[in-house]
Amino acid sequence: RKMAEGEEIATESPVVEGSGGADHMETDEQIGGQEEAAAQKEGGGSGPNYKLKFTLEGHEKAVASVKFSNCGKYLASASADKTVMVWEAHDGKHVCKFVGHTHGISDCAWSTQSDYLCSASDDQTVRVWDLKERQCLKVLQGHTSYVFNCSFNPQSNLIVSGSFDETVRIWDVKSGKCLRVLPAHSDPVTAVQFNRDGTLIVSSSFDGLCRIWDTATGQCLKSLIHDDNPPVSFVTFSPNSKFILAGSLDGKLRLWNYTTGKCLKTYSGHTNQKFCVVATFSVTGPNKYIVAGSEDGCVYIWDVQSKEVVQKLEGHTDTVVGVSCHPKHNVIASCALTNDRT
């Protein structure tokens, strides 16, 4: 996501949280001890069959982040060209462009009602944008280095941001004031996200840690680290918020039960050794999938239970750093770096 330094991309949108099949997407039993049964069932039933719908062109530099709005009507894209663009999700028509950041943007996120966007930039700020009025409402200032990632809470009265300055900040949207600074990590923060009720925040970092924070107190409730200690390039809550999915620079995605601290499943096959590549859950169809970008220019789709790669989407000509799944339909958006810009 960090184009300038060849570094990262951050937070996954709250778009799948609370959407259609989210509540029953996973149970502890399904994700826990049924790998053999799931593996035996592999091969039965049909996998996904995604085909290219359209290509959105307009950004002048690398596209760092794409996010479907919770209402499903819009797609937002954030770029190293310092702009956030909004597109109609159903036909790809350009809606508007937000200009104001003075350096490249690494992340964007929608409010729950799809009326506001926030964006995280190398200019060390987070901006809040009003979609209806087509203007910047607030500039959140306080980070002392690149801001990599940002996310609204479900109530959309708070924003959490993570930065190269190794802190996580919690902001009040209405006042634009920083409510809390969490000395979260000992390396750049690569992702931040609220859980589905806003009581918890998850963060990840190149220091190898994923941490769970209490939103109200700022207390660290849990720290997760894999034995190999690879830099963690991305993290997101599962749609039911019982688990977290973490990507790391050893080319693995790991599903954790953060309550017990156990790694339940590992997904591999894609390439991720350098950039902060986003992953997300697809829960709109009968089967549940994990979708992620890759440094080989493809989008990879895994069956959650069997851990098998069930489809690989080709077409981009550079590292795919961002993916987003539509909240209502079986549609995936993806974005890629400098040689691609779509």
Burial per residue of 142-162, b for 16 or more beta-carbon CB atoms within 10 angstroms, e otherwise: bbeebbbbbbbbbebebbbbb
Residues 168-217 have pLDDT tens digits of 999 999 999 999 999 999 999 999 999 999 999 999 999 999 999 999 99
pLDDT over threshold 80, residue 7: no
Query: Which whole-number Å values give the CA distances from 342 to 82, 90, 92, 106, 184, in the listed order?
Result: 15, 17, 12, 15, 33
Q: What is the pLDDT of residues 72-84, one digit of tens each?
A: 999 999 999 999 9
Q: Give the tens place of pLDDT for each residue, 157-182.
A: 999 999 999 999 999 999 999 999 99
For 16, half-sphere exposure in the C-beta direction (CA atoms, 13 angstrom radius) is 33
C-alpha to C-alpha distance for 242 and 244, rounded to whole angstroms: 7
Q: What angle do CA 81, 245, 281 make, to 5 degrees?
A: 75
262-285: buried (b, 16+ CB within 10 Å) or exposed (e) per residue? eebbebebbbbeebbbbbbbbbbe
* Mean residue pLDDT across the chain: 89
Indicate whether this model's pTM tops 0.75.
yes
